[in-house]
Amino acid sequence: MKRYIRIYMQLLRLNLATLLTYRVNFINNMIASIGWGAMSLYTVIILTTHVTEAYGWKREELLLLNGLYGVIVGVFHMFLSINMGRMSRIIHMGELDGILIKPIDSQFAISLWQVNFSSVFRILMALGYTVWIMHSMHLVVTVSSILFAVGLALISLVLLYSIWFLMLTNLIWFTNMSNLVVFLYSFESMARFPKEMLTQLASLVFFVVMPLTLVINTPVRVLLHTATFADVMMLVALSVGLWWAARKYWVFALRHYTSASS
Amino acid sequence: MKRFATIFSLYAQHALEYKVRSLVWFGVILFDVFVYLLYWRGVLTSGQTGAPWTFSEAVSYYLLLLVAGNLLQIHIEEEVAFEDIQYGRLSQYLLRPFSYFRFKFFQELPWRLIQGGFGLITLLGISLFVRRIVVVTDAYAIPLVISIVVSAYMLCFIYKMIIGIIAFWTIDYTGLQNIQIILYILLSGLLIPLHLLPSGIRSFALIQPIAYTLYHPVRAVQGAYTLSQLWQVLGMQWVWVILLYGVYRFLWHKGLKVFTAVGQ
């Protein structure tokens, strides 16, 4: 474990050095990151302009849901999705060979090699927006409820990571599907909406999409004091279960990796 | 022309070979459409006052958007930027005796037709078995609407080629690509019909080129425009096609001078 922490610290330093070398790219990425954050907030403002409530959620609660979505997804994009975005190219071009021969865990290397520092601005923007919305809603929050929500947000990140990784592991067989990442970004945006929205779906679709809606809904419900024990347990159980499944599936998939000649 | 027909045929085989990739692109738009329809269903059928449109209008708009998004939304920019310019594959095209622009045009066309086909089958299925979708029926308007759809394809293609060749001047293209995706989502009508945007940004959103690649064609197919409005849309599309093609030619010639042929 210590060794992996040391490796990760070194990776952070390398990423920082890259950032300082390619400053224009950083500014480019920073604008894009702020743009995504702003677009996410703008989307919900536009969608709720003429609306007082949707699926039992008041307009302000929907805005809070989107604020927290910006924070959690911002962290996810900073540390994880940037790596998953290049998975297709790594596998398709046979660069996975280079990762597999390194004396470290391949899932660790493929998931955490790069850090998108420009996402910090998106996170800060969403955080500021979330605090402002909470203040305007006169929400009473205690230190313990904030800590609990943060803890659940971290568990949500594990769930989000596991969903993405499970899906992207399929690239071992379908190497040309680089657009699967675009689909996942689209799929992930479902988390911005109330969980109740999905209850009208057929049970099979609900079962597939439901884990994603827990990612943001559960920490927000904690802040709104409407979370139940079952909500929290479901999030924890799904995070642990899907994490385990993602790990097993990756190990299984590697047995079918045929290198650059595939 | 025969050689471009051959390129089309070769890439049609390629597109058919990678059907799953087409299916994923189709899934991206289908999922967005599905999420927005679910949201509007909850809002518009709950009996709230002051709703900006009816659920029936929302269904019609988003389902036509599903077809238009698959048929008209070009995805060539990633390949142009990453594979051709940054990995240096452009050299192969420069040595061949035909235009890179036209090559890419005929390369992309089969992908659009296949994905548009997925969208059309879904639309027909829903229209036949679930809910009838109203489209333009005026015999005088139909040729104009078809011209608008074809022009939208050309406009989107030129726009995406411009985005792709900007990679001549960047080392990391990802940021730029993200910025253009955000602009495209906001200004094409993918999120919400542009006429429902707040008045401050509506007038700008309706005249900028991205609106003519998706929003206006969808509204034209819906039958929302009169004959004179259809001519106006077509005229504006061609103004943008000519302007953007000029920009493309300018950037292409400038870009070739900085291209190092071994990738960046």
Min Cα–Cα distance to chain B from A150, Å:
27
**Count of A–B CB contacts within 8 Å?**
106
Distance CA B5, CA B63 (A): 31
The residue ranges of every structural domain in chain A are 2-255
Place of tokens 């439901």: A210
Task: Name which of B35, B176, B185 is nearest A193 (Cβ-Cβ).
Answer: B35
Min Cα–Cα distance to chain B from A86, Å:
11
Contact of A33 with chain B, judged by CB distance below 8 Å, is answered with yes
Distance CA B178, CA B184 (A): 10
**pLDDT value at residue A202:** 64
- Interface list for A 162-181 with B (CB within 8 A): 174, 176-180
Contact of A193 with chain B, judged by CB distance below 8 Å, is answered with yes
**pLDDT value at residue B263:** 55
Min Cα–Cα distance to chain A from B140, Å:
35
- Say whether B182 and A179 touch across the interface (CB within 8 A): no
Rounded to two decimals, the pTM is 0.83
Distance CA A152, CA B180 (A): 33
Contact of B34 with chain A, judged by CB distance below 8 Å, is answered with no
Total Cβ atoms within 10 A of residue B80: 24
Q: Are A199 and B44 in contact (CB under 8 A)?
A: no
Contacts of A190 in chain B (CB under 8 A): 31, 35
Task: Name which of A36, A52, A193 is nearest B48 (Cβ-Cβ).
Answer: A52
DSSP character at residue A52: S
- Say whether B42 and A55 touch across the interface (CB within 8 A): yes
pLDDT in tens, B13-42: 888 888 888 888 888 888 888 888 888 888
- Nearest 5°: CA angle at A147, between A143 and A148? 115
- Say whether B52 and A49 touch across the interface (CB within 8 A): yes
**pLDDT value at residue B217:** 96
CA-based nearest residue in chain B for residue A195: B39
Distance CA A234, CA A175 (A): 33
Distance CA B45, CA A78 (A): 38
Candidates A221, A73, A219; CA nearest to A149 is A219
Instruction: Please enumerate in sequence order all residues whose Cβ is within 8 A of that of B36, keeping only pairs 6 or more positions apart, or say none.
Output: A47, B58, B62, B191, B192
- Say whether A22 and B171 touch across the interface (CB within 8 A): yes
Distance CA A154, CA A80 (A): 13
- Say whether A49 and B20 touch across the interface (CB within 8 A): no
**pLDDT value at residue A206:** 67
Characterize A58-81 residue by residue with b for buried, 16 or more Cβ atoms within 10 angstroms of its Cβ, and e for exposed: ebbbbbbbbbbbbbbbbbbbbbbb
pLDDT in tens, B47-62: 776 777 888 889 999 9
Contact of B186 with chain A, judged by CB distance below 8 Å, is answered with yes
Distance CA A182, CA B96 (A): 32
Integer angstrom CA distances of residue A145 from A67, A152, A225, A251: 17, 10, 9, 38
Contact of B79 with chain A, judged by CB distance below 8 Å, is answered with no
Rg value, chain A, Cα: 19
Min Cα–Cα distance to chain B from A3, Å:
31
pLDDT in tens, B156-171: 999 999 999 998 988 7
Contacts of A89 in chain B (CB under 8 A): 82
Distance CA B223, CA B227 (A): 10
Task: Name which of A25, A42, A55 is nearest B175 (Cβ-Cβ).
Answer: A25
Place of tokens 């499970």: A166
Tell me the two tokens of residue A141. 């929050």
Q: Is 80 exceeded by the pLDDT of residue B239?
A: yes
Distance CA A10, CA B47 (A): 57
Distance CA A247, CA B167 (A): 36
**pLDDT value at residue B137:** 87
Q: Are A159 and A78 in contact (CB under 8 A)?
A: no
Tell me the two tokens of residue A209. 């999409």
Candidates A10, A210, A237; CA nearest to A109 is A10
Contact of B199 with chain A, judged by CB distance below 8 Å, is answered with no
Distance CA B125, CA B120 (A): 8
Residues of chain A with confidence (pLDDT) below 50:
262
Candidates A234, A224, A239, A223; CA nearest to A147 is A223
Place of tokens 């904030």: A146
Contacts of A54 in chain B (CB under 8 A): 39, 42-43, 46
Contact of A35 with chain B, judged by CB distance below 8 Å, is answered with yes
Task: Name which of B42, B50, B182 is nearest A36 (Cβ-Cβ).
Answer: B182
Total Cβ atoms within 10 A of residue B187: 22
Q: Average model confidence (pLDDT) for chain B?
A: 89
Helix (H), strand (E) at residue B86: none
Quote the longest CA-to-CA distance of chain B.
64
Task: Name which of A39, A55, A200 is nearest B185 (Cβ-Cβ).
Answer: A39
